Amino acid sequence: MKRFAALFNAIDQSTKTTVKVAALTDYFLTAPEEDRIWTIAIFSGRRPKRAVNSTRLREWAAEVAGIPLWLFEEAYPIVGDLAETIALVLPLPDTDTDHGLSHWINALRNLANVEEPARKDFVLEAWRSLDTTQRFLFNKLLTGGFRVGVSQKLMTRALARATGKNEAEMAHRLMGDWDPARITWAQLTVDDDPAANASRPYPFYLAYAFDDAPESLGNPEDWQAEWKWDGIRGQLILRDGAHYVWSRGEELMTDRFPELARALDFIPNGTVLDGELLAWGDGAPQSFNALQKRIGRKTVPKKLLSEAPVILYAYDLLEWGGVDYRQEPLEVRRATLEEVCGNLPTDAPVKLSPTVPFDAWEHLADQRATARAAQAEGLMLKRRDSPYLTGRKKGDWWKWKLDPLTIDAVMIYAQSGHGRRANLFTDFTFAVWNGNDLVPFTKAYSGLTDEEFRKITAWVKKNTQQRFGPVRQVTPEHVFEIAFEGIQASSRHKSGVALRFPRMSRWRHDKPIQEANSLDDLNEMLNTYG
């Protein structure tokens, strides 16, 4: 754990990419192989499951620290992170250990099979033998909430340097359903594994947000426009007589969308399609609300399969006839994709996502304005000669989204943030008018500057009316403009509506609370855009 803690400190204490890559490269060259594998797994989201619930951890930490539980509970929201709070309140270690990262992870994976007294003994013994940073990391692994500031790009760059492999190849190797408890370092980074290759997706090519005038892109003939669909980005892989569905977040979702198994009846082996998973009905994409009923379900009942059938709206071809097509220009990939989809029956679970024809940028801007009516978020702009790259690259692919919907709302509750913002109030609940009453309808925690967060924090401390644990009810006084991407009906919310991706876009110092929007305004937006 000492070596892993040193790596964490090197990454956490620097904002420089070169420093982080150098630290990772050195670690991948020198750490034990099993520790390297688990480090890659942790940094790419393959964390061990929670071994002990947070209530017990708080109780045990207070007991070991010799402080009352109420004092620990008061300190927790100030620090803003449970793992860090525990690491800080515990006394200095009275023993030392040199166990590596893999030792602790294997022990934690076995912890679920023992009775609580044995779990407690194990955790307390670990706390006694680890220093503050190691305890913090141990606690993060213990709670299943490990996060670290390392992008997939930085990790693949370091692995490429450590192994002598190409970055794109390393990125591809890290994709897929590999198990850190069963794979070796050689299998992950060097060996060819046909079984793993069959299910392995390609790294997704991601677009940058486009904020300039479209004329800045040059000749419109060099560009292809498509709708930016409001669904789940996914890859459909057809290899060795089987199909696999992967999300952009590297989650295997095959069982959640059983409709796509029929793709094997119409599309040949050795094909990989990139597209959008969408609920489909009446010959057109449905709202994200319809798709949301399917998200998170491991199995889908027949009723839901009938109510919200899902298709892949394909817009790129990554593999054809078992050949990697990503280096072909977009116009070549698109032409082949149109051939693949051209003869599909109308009930096939794969459909061709149409392009948006245009001959001038002004014409395209007019098309973009109609995106919500098409159940889209805006447009994608892709250079016709662009290859399919790995990760987010600037220049060839852009997402030109619609301006968000907005509504003015009154802040009525505040809660402290986490991490570096643990001493600030950053999480707020907002309300709109319903007659003479303020009805809460959404929460938001992003969009303000650090200086604005500091100002509102000082105000919250002076204007708290009641406390409900970490939440403070405040005097209704401040209006904020809330931006969001979509609105839908919701029986779980008192207001009857739920917003998609709400955030604070402006602090309306110029507006009294009486001029905030109403629930009628929200319902009107729901009828228009929901």
- The pTM of the full predicted model, rounded to 2 decimals, is 0.70
Mean pLDDT value across residues 317-334: 96
pLDDT for residue 196 is more than 70: no
For residues 521 and 407, is the Cβ–Cβ distance under 8 A?
yes
Flag whether pLDDT at 142 surpasses 90.
no
Residue 192 pLDDT > 80: no
Domain boundaries in the chain? 2-143, 205-401, 405-529
Comparing CA positions, the residue from 176, 170, 174, 168 lying closest to residue 199 is 176
Give the pLDDT mean for 447-462: 92
- Do 205-401 and 405-529 share a fold? no
Q: What would the mean pLDDT of 208-223 be, rounded to a whole number?
A: 93
Q: For residue 289, is pLDDT > 80?
A: no
Residues 39-60: what's their mean pLDDT?
83
Q: Which CATH superfamily is domain 205-401 in?
A: DNA ligase/mRNA capping enzyme (3.30.470.30)
Average pLDDT over residues 226-250: 91
pLDDT confidence bin for 494, thresholds 50/70/90:
confident
CATH number assigned to the domain covering 405-529: 2.40.50.140
Q: What is the rounded average pLDDT for all residues in the chain?
A: 89
pLDDT band at residue 275 using 50, 70 and 90 as cut-offs: very high
Residue 108 has pLDDT above 90, yes or no: no
How far is residue 203 CA from its own chain's centroid? 15
CATH 1.10.3260.10 fits 2-143, yes or no: yes
CA distance 414 to 335: 53
What integer pLDDT is reported at residue 77 of this predicted model?
Answer: 75
Say what percent of the chain tops pLDDT 70: 97
| Residue ranges of E strands in 475-518 | 479-484, 486-489, 497-500, 503-507
Lowest mean pLDDT among 51-65, 188-202, 409-423: 188-202
Is residue 320 scored above 80 in pLDDT? yes
Please, are residues 315 and 382 in contact by the beta-carbon 8 Å criterion? no
Closest residue by Cα to residue 391 from 166, 175, 148, 153: 153
pLDDT, tens only, 343-395: 899 889 999 999 999 999 999 999 999 998 888 999 999 999 999 998 888 89
| Upper half-sphere CA count for residue 210 (Cβ side, 13 Å) | 24
Q: What is the pLDDT of residue 181?
A: 86
